[in-house]
Amino acid sequence: MYTRRRRRYFLLMGGCIGLFVSAWAFVRLWSVPAAIGMCVVAAVIPPVAAIVANRRGPDDRWWDDPSGDPKSDEWWQELDGRKKPPPPPPK
């Protein structure tokens, strides 16, 4: 599940680097506005790549999914405020 996201991230970031390098190594010789446009597109790619890399897949376990340990799950629910703490024992 993480391999697919990592691969997409590196493909996007590789495309970003490719756009920057080709814009100022080759394209600027023919058209500076086109090179600037390529850099603008390349500047938009890193945030998109971060979103793609951090997107939860349908088979990913999320931070608030139950872990299977009842004591731990109860503790986390109490910590998150979803469950009230048990009352203190009477004296």
| Residue 50: partners with Cβ closer than 8 Å, 6 or more residues away | 9
Phi first, then psi, for residue 30 (nearest 5°) are -100, -40
pLDDT at 23: 94
Q: Output b/e per residue, 19-39; b: 16+ Cβ within 10 A.
A: bbeebeeebbeeeeeebeebb
Residue found under tokens 């390529």? 38
pLDDT digits (tens, 9 = 90+) for 5-58: 889 999 999 999 999 999 999 999 999 999 999 999 999 999 999 998 888 776
pTM: 0.62
Helix axis angle, 2-25 to 32-54, nearest 10° = 170
Residue 76: pLDDT band by 50, 70, 90 thresholds?
confident
Average pLDDT over residues 69-81: 77
